[in-house]
């Protein structure tokens, strides 16, 4: 598994340079934030408040504790009492809105922003980001928002629950049971996070730019196939009998394999030239490394390429749309089945009487993913042999090869520099149990996931 290991330092340098440029244009120096309260005022209170916010974010970035505390105190007190606090609150929300939009322009999507806020700080920080997204989305007509974004907004329960923006910072603090000092600290941390997020590949149109013609619905045949696959995988996940789960999963894999081959053959006959696209899948703790390995082997079996960005908790997958859909469906189902088998397995204590649950489950899921990858590779070879013997082989094989080259080219362009991460197994019982569970999720012949 790889991750883009050079994103974070570059993003921090850019953030620091941008902050330095903004400070250079101000009248109150970095060493004199009390200019916010000073007289005569050469700038408006709003402008000075924004400057102090910028200085606070910079201090957070540089880990300048004393300066950060001083800036937070200024923002907590506000200039001129109650009216000054309202001005600071208004500017704080405006800064949050601006930085969320900037993050969107750098490729980040709603669920990704919320996830990274939770990972880097806390669920409370994630709730703040949800509210800022809700406020920002008021600027866009629903008709100009991509359906995939709308789906994310619905899953996050994005809504404006406060009555007036000027009151938001105060009422949010009350909801979170925080005093004003705590509220300011959370907001500054979220602003710092948003400012330092690196650019990533943009997936789909930004809100306000989507058009109905640009978001074509899937063909009826594709939708019917996906509905059947989802139904089969749901049955595989719900049954308590491994044999039934195997049968349902195998049938779903057969449908996906046939669909991919039929789609490639249709493209060869009609001259259709669809292109690889990018999709990101969130991977959450616990045991995110073996979960990512499972997603990677499923993606590769579907002729997709995957890379894990560990810090931000997502895996980026590059492939053709139908293959990406199949990858997500199969990964989700296998993960549900693996998790169920893992929780049913009973780890024992080691010879010293210590609890081994975590190492057992880590090893279980790693073995499960590894064994699934082996079975998928073997199944792919069988499907290759069937294609080579088919009447359409002469027309189909060059198309499949070209599609594979296209995926590789897009992936390597997006991720020219990757690092590898190895996995250590420390629990033999967990490894053996995980491989046995993967064997029960049998993959064979035409029911395997075919290459594209």
Which range (85-89, 300-304, 384-388) has the least confidence? 384-388
Which of 144, 164, 196 is the endpoint of a domain?
Answer: 196
Which of 165, 196, 227 is the endpoint of a domain?
Answer: 196
Q: What is the pLDDT of residue 342?
A: 86
Q: What is the pLDDT of residue 444?
A: 35
Distance CA 118, CA 135 (A): 19
Place of tokens 């100009």: 144
Q: Is residue 86 part of a domain?
A: yes
Return all residues near 449 (Cβ < 8 A) that are at least 6 apart: 253, 256, 257, 298, 301, 302, 326, 330, 376, 379, 380, 443
Distance CA 300, CA 266 (A): 22
Q: Is residue 329 part of a domain?
A: yes
Q: What is the pLDDT of residue 250?
A: 63
Q: Which residue has the higher pLDDT, 444 or 237?
A: 237
Distance CA 4, CA 16 (A): 21
Q: How far apart are the first and last CA of the chain?
A: 21
Residue 102 has pLDDT above 80, yes or no: yes
Q: Which residue has the higher pLDDT, 17 or 320?
A: 320
Distance CA 344, CA 347 (A): 9
The 10s digit of each residue's pLDDT in 381-396 is: 766 677 677 766 676 7
Percent of the chain at pLDDT > 90 equals 44
Q: What is the pLDDT of residue 246?
A: 64
Distance CA 165, CA 94 (A): 9
Q: What is the pLDDT of residue 437?
A: 74
Q: Which residue has the higher pLDDT, 237 or 246?
A: 237
Q: What is the pLDDT of residue 133?
A: 98
Overall average pLDDT of the 33-40 stretch: 45
Residues facing residue 422 across a β-bridge: none
Residue 114 has pLDDT above 80, yes or no: yes
Same domain, 426 and 306: yes
Distance CA 112, CA 117 (A): 9
Most trustworthy range by pLDDT among 36-40, 172-176, 307-311, 369-373: 172-176
Strands 305-309 and 419-420, sheet pairing: unpaired
Which of 132, 162, 196 is the endpoint of a domain?
Answer: 196
Same domain, 307 and 399: yes
Same domain, 255 and 289: yes
Same domain, 70 and 163: yes
Q: Is residue 204 part of a domain?
A: no
Q: Is 199 exposed, middle or buried (0-12, 13-18, 19+ CB in 10 A)?
A: middle
Distance CA 325, CA 256 (A): 9
Residue 165 has pLDDT above 50, yes or no: yes
Q: Is the peptide bond before 360 cis (omega within 30 degrees of 0)?
A: no
Q: Is residue 206 part of a domain?
A: no
Q: What is the pLDDT of residue 70?
A: 96
- Average pLDDT value for the chain: 80
The 10s digit of each residue's pLDDT in 119-131 is: 999 999 999 999 9
Q: Is residue 298 part of a domain?
A: yes
Q: Is residue 201 part of a domain?
A: no
Same domain, 186 and 224: no
Q: How many domains does the chain have?
A: 2
Q: What is the pLDDT of residue 221?
A: 47
Same domain, 286 and 142: no
Band of residue 66 on the pLDDT scale cut at 50, 70, 90: very high
Q: What is the pLDDT of residue 349?
A: 66
Residues facing residue 256 across a β-bridge: none
Place of tokens 């923006």: 165
Same domain, 354 and 236: yes
Q: What is the pLDDT of residue 268?
A: 63
Residues facing residue 307 across a β-bridge: 316
Most trustworthy range by pLDDT among 12-26, 100-114, 423-437: 100-114
Q: Is 86 exposed, middle or buried (0-12, 13-18, 19+ CB in 10 A)?
A: middle
Q: Is residue 211 part of a domain?
A: no
Same domain, 270 and 130: no
Q: Is residue 9 part of a domain?
A: yes
Same domain, 173 and 237: no
Return all residues near 241 (Cβ < 8 A) that are at least 6 apart: none
Same domain, 244 and 189: no
Q: Which residue has the higher pLDDT, 354 or 296?
A: 296
Same domain, 137 and 232: no
Contact 160, 97 (CB under 8 A): no
Overall average pLDDT of the 96-122 stretch: 97
Same domain, 277 and 184: no
Full domain range(s) for residue 401: 217-447
Q: What is the pLDDT of residue 128?
A: 99
Here the tokens at position 146 are 């991509």
- Whether pTM > 0.85 for this model: the answer is no
DSSP characters over 29-91:
-TT-GGGGT-SS-SS-HHHHHHHHHHHHHHHHHHT-HHHHHHHHHHHHH-TTTHHHHHHHHHH
């Amino acid at each position: 598994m790889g991750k883009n290991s050079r994103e974070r330092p570059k993003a921090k340098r850019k953030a620091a340079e941008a902050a330095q440029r903004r400070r250079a244009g101000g009248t109150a120096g970095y060493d004199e934030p009390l200019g916010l309260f000073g007289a005569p005022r050469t700038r408006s209170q709003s402008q000075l408040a924004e400057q102090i916010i910028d200085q606070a974010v910079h201090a957070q970035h540089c880990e300048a504790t004393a300066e950060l505390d001083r800036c937070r105190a200024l923002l907590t007190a506000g200039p001129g009492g109650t009216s000054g606090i309202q001005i600071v609150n208004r500017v704080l929300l405006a800064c949050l809105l601006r930085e969320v939009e900037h993050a969107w322009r750098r490729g980040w999507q709603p669920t990704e922003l919320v996830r990274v806020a939770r990972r880097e700080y806390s669920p409370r920080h994630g709730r703040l980001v949800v509210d800022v997204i809700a406020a920002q989305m008021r600027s866009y007509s629903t008709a100009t928002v991509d359906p995939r974004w709308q789906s994310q907004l619905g899953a996050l329960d994005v809504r404006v629950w406060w009555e007036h923006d000027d009151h938001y910072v105060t009422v949010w603090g009350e909801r979170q049971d925080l005093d004003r000092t705590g509220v300011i600290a959370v907001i500054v941390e979220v602003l710092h996070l948003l400012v330092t997020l690196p650019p990533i590949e943009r997936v789909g149109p930004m809100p306000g730019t989507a058009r109905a013609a640009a978001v074509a619905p899937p063909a009826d045949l594709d939708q019917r196939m996906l509905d059947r696959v989802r139904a089969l995988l749901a049955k595989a996940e719900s049954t308590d009998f491994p044999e039934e789960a195997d049968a349902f999963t195998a049938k779903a894999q057969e449908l996906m394999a046939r669909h991919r081959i039929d789609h490639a053959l249709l493209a060869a006959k009609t001259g259709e030239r669809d292109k690889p696209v990018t999709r990101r899948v969130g991977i959450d703790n616990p045991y995110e490394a073996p979960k990512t390995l499972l997603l990677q082997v499923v993606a590769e079996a579907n002729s997709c390429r995957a890379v894990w960005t560990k810090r931000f908790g997502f895996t980026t997958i590059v492939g053709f749309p139908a293959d990406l859909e199949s990858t997500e469906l199969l990964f989700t189902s296998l993960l549900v089945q693996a998790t169920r088998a893992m929780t049913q397995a009973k780890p024992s204590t080691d010879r010293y009487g210590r609890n081994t649950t975590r190492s057992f489950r880590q090893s279980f899921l790693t073995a499960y993913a590894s064994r699934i990858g082996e079975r998928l590779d073997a199944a792919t070879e069988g499907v290759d042999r069937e294609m080579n013997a088919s009447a359409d082989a002469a027309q189909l094989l060059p198309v499949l090869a070209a599609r594979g080259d296209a995926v590789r080219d897009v992936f390597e362009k997006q991720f020219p520099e990757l690092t590898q991460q190895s996995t250590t197994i420390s629990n033999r019982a967990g490894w053996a149990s995980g491989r046995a569970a993967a064997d029960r999720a049998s993959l064979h012949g035409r029911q395997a996931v075919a290459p594209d």
